Amino acid sequence: MSDRYVRVKIQIEDMKSLGEDAGREAADAEEQAPEGPPAASVFPDAPGVTVAAGDASRVPLTCKQRVKSRSTAGKDVQKHASDVPLHGSVVTARHLNRLGHERALHVRGTGKILRGQLEANGNYVNIHPSKNNQETRREDGFKLARKNRPVTVDMSKAKTSLEALKLSIKQLKWKEFPLGRRAPCDIYWHGVSFHDNEKIVSGQVNKFPGMIEMLRKINLSRAVRTMQELFPEEYDFYPRSWILPEECQQFSTQIRMVKENEPTLNPTFIVKPDSGSQGDGIYLIRDPSDLKLMAGSPAKQAVVQEYIQKPLLIDKLKFDIRLYVLLKSLEPLEIYIAKEGLTRFCTEPYQEPSQKNLSHVFMHLTNYSLNVHSGNFVHSDSQSTGSKRTLSSVLYRLAAKGVDIKKVWSDIIALVIKTAIAMVPELRVHYQADIPPGKPGPTCFQILGFDILLMKNLKPVLLEVNSNPSMRIEHEQEVATGVFEYVPSPVDEEVKVGVIRDTLRLMDPGRRKPSVSHLRAGGPEHGEEVPMEAETRDRSPEDGALPSLCLKQVYPKYTKQFNYLRLVERIAALFIRFLGVKGNMRLGPTAFRTFIRTCKLSNSNFSMASVDILYIDITRRWSGTTGESKEAGMGLQAFVEAFFHLAGRRFKSLPLREQVASLLELCEAQLESQTAVEERRSVSCSRAMPRPAKTHALGPGNRQLGSPAPLRRASSQEYRLHQRLIPRTLRANVEN
């Protein structure tokens, strides 16, 4: 089925549902899928306050006589993510649409469409770039959406987000479908994962495929560590981490050496199970020998991390920040940060770790789900007191003490953008596997929960990113022994309804896009501080009487400052290009050879036999690592390692990041020139015998090229600009 056919089909379906909506409002109740009510309250995490202060018309929140099941309660559930089909870039002429004399060239993989006139001689001129795949899908699918009817939201899978979602939709005057709907909806709200509903072929889903996997503690640590190898200073906001069990030995040796060299140092470490959440299974240790690696049983997959011993305290209590971040799109990368967030407080005064207090969870762990069981937990009506407070109230208090909160906020924005840049490569691989270019599918966006600790010196530290941050706006209250009620939580409602409502506003299919010049503004240059107020156009005519957006765009706004960091994303684009088979996430040996050959990376010093050995060596090692899928082939992380190795061989005397940047430029140039040759061949071929151009998955016939040319060029320029700031002595001549 061609893209065009699919798009037309989607549009027809949209028109059908439009008619239905206009004419049969009353029938909506019957249209709702007979799936029963959405699963209730599996994922708590609520805050600490009492009675609702709000809209009297809201759905009653109390759930009388609910007996709490602690075992399943409140998993701030897992992380998951995915990505965009950034697949190859410069493939051209996938098919030609006749619009009079005007034609559209679909740029394979990027989803870009080039429009232009076909000259009498068959040459294609006056090409101007247009939208990418995600944008096109969004617009094609929804052009009609907003004109005559409210935006429709399928909430049948919303789970614990349901109440906040309902309030948001009510404020927006949109149309909710709590039990689903047979006709397509504009937006599908999933409580857990992209795959909550497998049948969606259009519209927008609030989850990326692969996000849960990407944000497991081990995978996030790996992704950030790769960035730390390339950019150690830029990524010093993530505590030093080791992956268990495979790096257990390394961890023990390194700590022993540190202690021998500096006997006064007495570091503490925090051990976190890979797929744990809400503090489950977490413990502190002071010596590697205290690791609970049970002999005889399979070693637990976990991350052991340097413990931040000197956090900033308020009222003598440790606290952390839950920041909501909207990943609006992967390609182009669009990130928004919520101005308002939550702070979660410990319930026992903090002391630096000692052998005596290591097991005091109420002192060391800020999780709401743990501290709510402490007798000291304070559910407060106020947003600036109690054990859960708004971020703004905490910043206000710090400002009153003379803290430079502009600097703190700017550091937090930088942390978020850098972390997102570390996550995106893996997400892109997942995205192209789940929604390959050409396959009908929804576009994705996702609200993420960043957990951030402020150190005593005010430096923000990333603890973790939650793919499924709790959107509950109620908390449980024990009304009699063992009997719990849900009561509204004003703090949660204030923050979370705003985040969901404004996410929906930004995803509104009828919303006017900010102008390209605005989007590409780029913000301050390298080294400049990110301003406190990320100025974005936060109102649009569709917003009516709604408050201004609480979500601020930070990317692409600050592209200029951070784009040079996107090296691994370009490696991922190469990886995706050579994956070949749709839905694949691993590179086979032949595909790896094709990559080497196409990019002309083998020579007399590096034969194809050595290439095969490199492939086998790295793939075998990675297949034994923790968290790595047992599927055959080379995953992205392994490919990145191979790429670093190749870069090191080729550009020996350069620092790693320059080695990698140089090899990327070389590969991209090879692919681009090859593409140009093929384009010429294709044009002369189509003149001789007009027929649709074929796309080859691999090899010289493949016209896909990872990232779109503008992104690559911009990224290379940013990188070179950045390099100019590095002292000359660090740069060396290229070696082969």
The single residue listed with the structure tokens 């007191």 is 385
Give min distance, CB of 227 to ligand ADP, in A. 17
Give min distance, CB of 273 to ligand ADP, in A. 8
Beta-bridge partners for 314: 317
Q: Does 80 bind ligand ADP (CB under 6 A)?
A: no
Give min distance, CB of 466 to ligand ADP, in A. 7
Q: Cα(493)–Cα(476) distance, rounded to whole angstroms?
A: 14
Q: Does 464 bind ligand ADP (CB under 6 A)?
A: yes
Q: Does 451 bind ligand ADP (CB under 6 A)?
A: yes
Q: Which two tokens stand for residue 47?
A: 């805050």
Instruction: Write out the binding residues for ligand ADP, residues 269-308 only, by CB under 6 A.
Output: 270, 272, 276-280, 282, 305, 307-308
Between 74 and 442, name the residue whose CB sits nearer to ligand ADP. Answer: 74
Q: Which two tokens stand for residue 162?
A: 């349901």
Per-residue b or e along 621-649, where b marks 16 or more CB atoms closer than 10 Å to that residue's CB: ebbeebbbeeeebbbbbbbbbbbbebbeb
Give min distance, CB of 285 to ligand ADP, in A. 12
Quick check: 525 and 561 in contact, CB under 8 A?
Answer: yes
Among the residue ranges 257-265, 361-369, 494-502, 562-570, the one whose residues contact ligand ADP (CB under 6 A)? 361-369
Instruction: Say which amino acid occupies 505.
Output: R
Q: Does 10 bind ligand ADP (CB under 6 A)?
A: no
**CA dihedral (220, 497, 152, 131) positive or negative:** negative
Give, as one character, the DSSP assignment of residue 286. S
For 204, list phi and psi in degrees, rounded to 5: -130, 140
Between 277 and 489, name the residue whose CB sits nearer to ligand ADP. Answer: 277
Among 161, 226, 228, 366, which residue sits at the site for ligand ADP (rule: CB under 6 A)?
A: 366
Question: Checking phi first, is residue 522 left (phi over 0); if not, alpha (psi -120 to 50) or beta?
Answer: left
For 589, list phi and psi in degrees, rounded to 5: -60, -35
Among 214, 330, 335, 365, which residue sits at the site for ligand ADP (rule: CB under 6 A)?
A: 365
CA distances from 718 to 170, 505, 522 (A): 44, 32, 11
Between 92 and 221, name the residue whose CB sits nearer to ligand ADP. Answer: 221
Give min distance, CB of 453 to ligand ADP, in A. 6
Instruction: Write out the binding residues for ligand ADP, residues 310-349 only, by CB under 6 A.
Output: 320
* Helix, strand or coil, per DSSP, at residue 301: coil
Element (DSSP H or E) covering residue 507: helix 490-507
Instruction: Write out the binding residues for ligand ADP, residues 158-217 only, by CB under 6 A.
Output: none
Give min distance, CB of 398 to ligand ADP, in A. 18
Between 132 and 278, name the residue whose CB sits nearer to ligand ADP. Answer: 278
Quick check: 139 and 14 in contact, CB under 8 A?
Answer: no
Between 366 and 715, name the residue whose CB sits nearer to ligand ADP. Answer: 366
Between 88 and 353, name the residue whose CB sits nearer to ligand ADP. Answer: 353
Q: Cα(79)–Cα(464) distance, rounded to whole angstroms?
A: 10
Among 48, 109, 111, 239, which residue sits at the site for ligand ADP (rule: CB under 6 A)?
A: 239
Give min distance, CB of 157 to ligand ADP, in A. 23
Q: Does 414 bind ligand ADP (CB under 6 A)?
A: no
Give min distance, CB of 448 to ligand ADP, in A. 13
Who's near 669: CB < 8 A, 6+ residues apart? none
Give min distance, CB of 82 to ligand ADP, in A. 20
Give min distance, CB of 606 to ligand ADP, in A. 41
Give min distance, CB of 309 to ligand ADP, in A. 8
Between 177 and 242, name the residue whose CB sits nearer to ligand ADP. Answer: 242
Give min distance, CB of 464 to ligand ADP, in A. 4
Element (DSSP H or E) covering residue 260: helix 248-261
Quick check: 311 and 302 in contact, CB under 8 A?
Answer: no
Give min distance, CB of 268 to ligand ADP, in A. 8
Between 307 and 595, name the residue whose CB sits nearer to ligand ADP. Answer: 307
Quick check: 571 and 660 in contact, CB under 8 A?
Answer: yes
Between 408 and 550, name the residue whose CB sits nearer to ligand ADP. Answer: 408
In this structure, the chain runs to a length of 736
Beta-bridge partners for 334: 329
Between 191 and 469, name the residue whose CB sits nearer to ligand ADP. Answer: 469
Quick check: 387 and 377 in contact, CB under 8 A?
Answer: yes
Between 70 and 724, name the residue whose CB sits nearer to ligand ADP. Answer: 70
Beta-bridge partners for 306: 269
Per-residue b or e along 551-562, where b marks 16 or more CB atoms closer than 10 Å to that residue's CB: bbbbbbbbbbbb
Give min distance, CB of 358 to ligand ADP, in A. 12
Among the residue ranges 8-16, 362-370, 474-482, 518-526, the one whose residues contact ligand ADP (CB under 6 A)? 362-370
Among the residue ranges 25-33, 133-141, 360-368, 592-600, the one whose residues contact ligand ADP (CB under 6 A)? 360-368
Q: Cα(728)–Cα(272) distance, rounded to whole angstroms?
A: 42
The size of the interface with ligand ADP (CB under 6 A), counted in residues, is: 20
Q: Cα(387)–Cα(378) distance, rounded to whole angstroms?
A: 5
Among 17, 161, 301, 367, which residue sits at the site for ligand ADP (rule: CB under 6 A)?
A: 367
What is the Cα gyration radius of the chain?
Answer: 26
Quick check: 644 and 656 in contact, CB under 8 A?
Answer: yes
Provide the binding-site residues for ligand ADP, judged by CB under 6 A.
Answer: 239, 270, 272, 276-280, 282, 305, 307-308, 320, 365-367, 451, 453, 463-464
